[in-house]
Structure 1
C-alpha cells in the first residue's frame, strides 16, 4: 500500500496516536507541530494526505488549508481536518476552504484509520466525516 501522510498536530499525544494509526495502515507518516512546518515540508515530503488540526500554535488550520489550496500543485491533495471543534461553522468553513473530510476529537482509532484508507483508496470520494460515515456504515 502506498501513501504518504503529513500529520499537522501540536498535541504530542494526538500526534503520536495519529502517526501510529497511519503506520498501521501501511503508509508513511511524518508529524509536524505547526502550520509553518507543514508548509515547509511539502517539497521534502510531498503527501498524498494531510491530517490537519485547526488549533495550531502559529497559523490557524483553516489558514493552512487555504494556503495549500491556493498553492500551485497542491489543489488536489486530500486534507482531513482532525480537530477538537464540533462547531458546525468550523465544519462548513473547512469544507468551503477545500477540506476532503472532517473528524472530531476525541477520535475512535478504528474510525480514523478507516477514514485515512477511504481517502487514499477512493479517488472519487469528495467528502467524508465521522458523523455521516458512522451513519452510512453503521
Structure 2
C-alpha cells in the first residue's frame, strides 16, 4: 500500500504538499525547505519511497501517548531515509515546528509577511490521518512516496 505526498509550492523556508490516500486528497503537508545539502532539523525529506513504521520510544512518543491514549500506538516514522532519523508525521503549523518531519493540517495559508506556508487544523488532520494509517499499517507494509511537482 502506498500513500503519496506531492510537493506543490515552496516558500522562503517551507515546502507545502498535498497528502493522498488511495488517490483521495486527505490534507496538506508542510516541511522545511528543500535543500541540496542537509542542514540537521531544517531540511525537507528527500523525494523517494519510505516504509512507515511505529516508533514506540522517546519523549515525543510519550507526549502523544498522553495526548491520545485511546488510539496512539507509536509515532508514525518514515524509515530508511539517507542521513535522516526519527522523521515522523505529526501535528504543527509552521516550518519552525517540523525539525525535518512532515506536519499535516486540513487547511493551508501563505504568510506574505514572512514568505512562507503554514498548515492549520493540524490536530484534526493528525487524528484522521493517524487512525487511517495505523489501521493500514496493522494489515501490512505501507509506504509513503514523496514527489516534487513544484
Q: TM-score, normalised by structure 1?
A: 0.31
If asked which structure has higher relative contact order (CA below 8 Å, sep 6+), I would say: 2
More helix by share: 1
Q: TM-score, normalised by structure 2?
A: 0.29
Larger radius of gyration: 2
More strand by share: 2
